[in-house]
Amino acid sequence: MNTDASALQLVLAVDPTLVAIVLLSLMVSLSAVLIAAVIGIPLGALIALTRFPGRGMAIVALNALMGLPPVVVGLAVFLLLSRSGPLGSLGMLFTPQAMIVAQAILVTPIVAALARQTIEDLWEEYRDEFAAMNVGPVQRIGTLIWDGRFSLVTALLAGFGRSAAEVGAIIIVGGNIDGFTRTMTTAIALETSKGNLPLAVGLGIVLIAIIIAINALAWWARRTGERYAG
Amino acid sequence: MTENMRPPPSDLPIAFENVTVTEGSVTILDRLSLTISPGEPTFVIGPNGSGKTTFLRAAMGLVAPTEGRVTWGGRDGVSPHKLAFVFQRPVMLRRSAESNVRFTLSAAGVPRIEHDGRVAELFKLVGLDGLQKRSARRLSGGEQQRLAIARALARDPSVIFLDEPTASLDPAATKAIEDIVRTITARGVKAVLSTHDLGQARRLANDIIFLHRGRIIETGATSEFFESPRSPEARSFIEGDLLV
Amino acid sequence: MIIRRILIATALCLSLFSPQRSIAQDKSIVVASTTSTQDSGLFEYLLPIFTKKTGITVKVIAQGTGQALDTGRRGDADVVFVHAKSAEEQFLSEGQSLKRYPVMYNDFVLIGPKSDPAKIGGTSDIAAALKSIMAKGAPFISRGDRSGTHIAELMLWKQAGIDIEKEKNAWYKSIGQGMGAALNTAQASSAYVLSDRGTWLNFKNKNDLQIGVQGDKRMFNQYGVMLVNPDKHPNVKKDLGQQFIDWLVSVEGQKVIGDYKINGEPLFYPNANDSGA
Ligand SMILES: Nc1ncnc2c1ncn2[C@@H]1O[C@H](COP(=O)(O)OP(=O)(O)OP(=O)(O)O)[C@@H](O)[C@H]1O
Ligand SMILES: [Mg+2]
């Protein structure tokens, strides 16, 4: 990376290294959110729609897991994926995949907890109609997820915000390798440590702009969608 | 509703045998025994909080009796596709009016190729033709009520429960719904309604169930009930001064 | 419909895992090295030259020397490239590596604020400077992260006759972070700090920091490179790793290291031929 460029130049000029870092950041965060959605939404739905002993505890635990400390997750994934760890033979440590795994662990509880709340509220509302229409369990879950989709997107955005802003876990499991596992946040950490504060600030501005852009996109999609589906 | 004559509905008669429903320490229905038979509409009337909604839910199988039992055509379980319910405050799914009906059709296992025809027919029947593509939650209260009826009829029920279906409707909309009830009765569907509108009960009901504080005070043919009520509660309710 | 979506999403995720992995294992090695080597900018200069010549991608994890050696001990790196001879010899004696190659050296410099509260200006005697810092209670930032620089710093206190574990007080702040973070902290709190010269020269946030002491022979900083023992960790890419080491100590690699300069000043002095280093 051209360390002599000023923050503004870096933001305006399309630096290929910066583009690669941005793309990797997006790839890692969005993959983590995708995995979190695939696991978290059905999990949230399951907890919302079933009654079992210890359910209250499960909900409290899920809500608490939203605040998992990233470094602890990073460390746990690190120990798991290390060559000397139980999954060492996968050779996944210090790869983007390892970062995705760590972030998926951080984001899944957020998505699951928010999805549970959304789906449970909707379920309260729909429950009588479903019973009267004799809707089967699969169609039931599908309908609740589909009708709750706008709120669920907000849950996914919350997860995306967490993963895009996160540095503690991915710097441990990714190793911040130049051109391979260096993301926006780890690059900011590195440039700060090099005393290259203008570049760090520039990267920070880019990161915030991207997060805002994605949220704006989601907001626009939601508004458009609601106009037609309400 | 393409076939006019159906085989005798097997969910009827619906029989209550000493049915009690309690919620916590509150007794909502108190030892009800009665039979709902095929034919013209049956009306459940009574003041607010007398237990009409709970009674209909029990008859639908949505509420299990705390004591006693309900049977449908002599059987304990509800035959799943033959009963339908229009709630006092129907909840529309977050999608178009038409999709709400399609949803019920697929839940009832109606093959997809039949959906278009059924949707068109049902919208015409309830007088919502032209509103198919509108968002269901943005329809007016009366339109939503009619959509709820269309949705219930999509199940091709042998019995339909309507809980105060005209409570918040203007006279024209009320008449439209009464006409729907007559039409489906003519097609062999048994309608069970609750209402506060005594005129409506007079116009449509074959027989009346009068509830008060969770108890059956009177049951009987409509003309008998209105002309010679036996209980003081029924008499003052008809005269308009029975309070809860 | 929703189920189909979920299936597609899952398939996408899985596809993301496999092909990338095979690329990653394609002619690349992981080198555990030190923050000072990375922060000095040497790798950004040197690695593209090596990759162009051999087609081998080098992935550098920048850690403290102690942590980098631990990464090698767990088998998570193929090569370790660090600067703390005693710790490296310990690594060898554990059988974690079979051979240590000296590569280059640079020197440590004692950095301090221009106001120079400990009055060390001009001296080239590091022991005297440290004694003066302690006597004046002038703020001092220690890496405190078992890095090569940290180990060197502890050695310098010892050589100055100071038992820093006993003497340290509010003026001595151990931050447990990398070289750059330590320099940032020193800058922000007008403190003294020991740095390797390379990181210092490449450091952009100097402001009112300057070199206080340099040129003392005791501040010599030797770098060594070792291949992680493939007998202990079968996943180690010994051929590619050895190729990297051989290049570093080759005439060509040594010239590249010597050619790396900031503002005309060399940061590292190649000395692979000095077998005693
Ligand atoms: N789940 C419940 N828990 C506690 N009390 C209930 C419950 N459901 C109904 N009740 C009470 O039981 C009584 C009968 O309720 P229900 O809804 O059946 O009356 P209703 O005749 O339909 O009244 P309305 O004319 O106002 O619709 C009311 O006093 C109500 O508060
Ligand atoms: Mg009611």
Q: pLDDT tens digits for C47-57? A: 999 999 999 99
pLDDT of res. C1: 44
Q: pLDDT tens digits for B127-167? A: 888 898 898 998 988 899 999 999 999 988 989 999 999 88
Chains that touch C (3 or more CB pairs under 8 A): A
B8-12, C21-25, C60-64, C197-201 — which is least confidently predicted?
C21-25
Q: pLDDT tens digits for C176-191? A: 888 888 999 899 889 9
Angle at C2 between CA C1 and CA C7, to 5 degrees: 100
CATH superfamily entry for domain B3-82+157-238? P-loop containing nucleotide triphosphate hydrolases (3.40.50.300)
The stretch C249-260 carries a mean pLDDT of 94
Interface predicted TM-score (ipTM):
0.86
C154 and C124 share a domain?
A: yes
**Cis peptide bond upstream of B13, omega within 30:** yes
C-alpha A159 – ligand 1 centre gap (Å):
42
How far apart are alpha carbons A106 and A69 in whole angstroms? 8
Chains that touch B (3 or more CB pairs under 8 A): A
- Average per-residue pLDDT for chain C: 87
In three-state secondary structure terms, A170 is: helix
Is 90 exceeded by the pLDDT of residue C46? Answer: yes
Domain range for residue C56?
27-106+222-270
C199 and C253 share a domain?
A: no
pLDDT of res. A9: 60
pLDDT of res. A8: 56
C152 and C131 share a domain?
A: yes
B28 lines ligand 1 (CB under 6 A): yes
How far apart are alpha carbons A79 and A86 in whole angstroms? 8
C-alpha B241 – ligand 1 centre gap (Å):
21
Position C277 in a domain = no
Q: pLDDT tens digits for C124-168? A: 899 999 999 999 999 999 998 888 889 999 999 999 999 998 888
How far apart are alpha carbons B130 and B134 in whole angstroms? 9
Confidence band, pLDDT 50/70/90 cuts, at residue C10:
very low
Question: Where a domain ends, among C176, C193, C219?
Answer: C219
B54 touches chain A (CB under 8 A): no
Confidence band, pLDDT 50/70/90 cuts, at residue A72:
very high
C117 and C211 share a domain?
A: yes
- What are the boundaries of each domain within chain B? 3-82+157-238, 92-156
B52 lines ligand 1 (CB under 6 A): yes
Of A38, A96, A100, which is closest to C6 when you measure between CB atoms? Answer: A38
Q: Which residues contact C233 (CB under 8 A, 6 or more apart)?
A: A83, C75
C197 and C253 share a domain?
A: no
Regions of chain B with pLDDT less than 70: 1-9, 78-81, 241-244
Position C88 in a domain = yes
Is 80 exceeded by the pLDDT of residue C2? Answer: no
Closest ligand, as measured to the CA of B44: 1
C111 and C101 share a domain?
A: no
How far apart are alpha carbons A158 and A31 in whole angstroms? 14
What would the two tokens of residue B154 be? 């999509």
**Residue B47 alpha carbon, nearest atom of ligand 1:** 25
Q: What is the pTM of this model?
A: 0.79
pLDDT of res. B228: 82
Residue C61 to chain A, least CA–CA distance (Å):
5
Q: Does B84 sit within 8 Å of A129, measured CB to CB? A: no
Beta carbons of A132 and A61 less than 8 angstroms apart? no
Count of domains observed in chain A: 1
How far apart are alpha carbons C222 and C152 in whole angstroms? 10
B120 touches chain A (CB under 8 A): no
pLDDT of res. C18: 43
- Quick one: which of A194, B46, B114, A93 has its CA closest to C37? A194
What would the two tokens of residue A105 be? 């662990």
Domain range for residue A139?
3-229
Question: Where a domain ends, among C180, C196, C219?
Answer: C219
CATH number at residue C190: 3.40.190.10
C92 and C229 share a domain?
A: yes
Which residues 21-40 of C are in CB contact (within 8 Å) with A? 21, 24-25, 30, 35, 38-39
Residues in chain A: 230
Q: Which residue of A has its CA nearest to C76?
A: A83
How far apart are alpha carbons B71 and C65 in whole angstroms? 80
Helices within chain C (DSSP H only): 2-24, 35-39, 42-54, 65-73, 85-93, 126-136, 148-159, 164-167, 179-189, 197-202, 238-249, 251-259
CATH number at residue A99: 1.10.3720.10
Is 50 exceeded by the pLDDT of residue C15? Answer: no
What residues of A are in contact with residue B151 (Cβ under 8 Å)? 133
B60 touches chain A (CB under 8 A): yes
Are C and B neighbours with ≥3 CB pairs closer than 8 A? no
Is 70 exceeded by the pLDDT of residue C25? Answer: no
What residues of C are in contact with residue A100 (Cβ under 8 Å)? 16
C-alpha B53 – ligand 1 centre gap (Å):
7
What residues of B are in contact with residue A136 (Cβ under 8 Å)? 107
Helix orientation angle between C238-249 and C251-259, rounded to the nearest 10 degrees: 60
- Quick one: which of B61, B159, B62, B147 has its CA closest to B102? B147
Instruction: Please give, one letter per residue, the 3-state secondary structure of chain B.
Output: CCCCCCCCCCCCCEEEEEEEEEECCEEEEEEEEEEECCCCCEEEECCCCCCHHHHHHHHHCCCCCCEEEEEECCECCCCCCCEEEECCCCCCCCCEHHHHHHHHHHHCCCCHHHHHHHHHHHHHHCCCCCCCCCEHHHCCHHHHHHHHHHHHHCCCCCEEEEECCCCCCCHHHHHHHHHHHHHHHHCCCEEEEEECCHHHHHHHCCEEEEEECCEEEEEEEHHHHHHCCCCHHHHHHHHCCCCC
How far apart are alpha carbons A26 and A99 in whole angstroms? 12
Please state whether C146 falls in left (phi above 0), alpha (psi between -120 and 50) or beta. Answer: left
- Quick one: which of B7, B4, B36, B8 has its CA closest to B205? B36
B48 lines ligand 1 (CB under 6 A): yes
> Which residue out of B86, B94, B161 would a mutagenesis test of the A interface target, given it has the greatest number of A Cβ atoms within 10 Å?
B94
Q: pLDDT tens digits for A21-58? A: 999 999 999 999 999 999 999 999 999 999 999 999 99
C250 and C165 share a domain?
A: no
What residues of C are in contact with residue A95 (Cβ under 8 Å)? 20-21, 24
B23 lines ligand 1 (CB under 6 A): yes
The DSSP string of C56-119 is -EEEEEEE-HHHHHHHHHTT--SEEEE--HHHHHHHHHTTSEEEEEEEEEEEEEEEEETT-TT-
How far apart are alpha carbons A230 and A67 in whole angstroms? 33
Q: Does B62 sit within 8 Å of A133, measured CB to CB? A: no
Residues of chain C with pLDDT > 90, as a percent, come to 58
Residue C9 to chain A, least CA–CA distance (Å):
7
What residues of C are in contact with residue A196 (Cβ under 8 Å)? 204-205
C213 and C227 share a domain?
A: no
- Quick one: which of B150, B240, B163, B160 has its CA closest to B199? B240
Q: pLDDT tens digits for C55-89? A: 999 999 998 888 899 999 999 999 999 988 889 99
pLDDT of res. B79: 57
The stretch A180-188 carries a mean pLDDT of 91
Q: Does B151 sit within 8 Å of A143, measured CB to CB? A: no
pLDDT of res. A6: 59
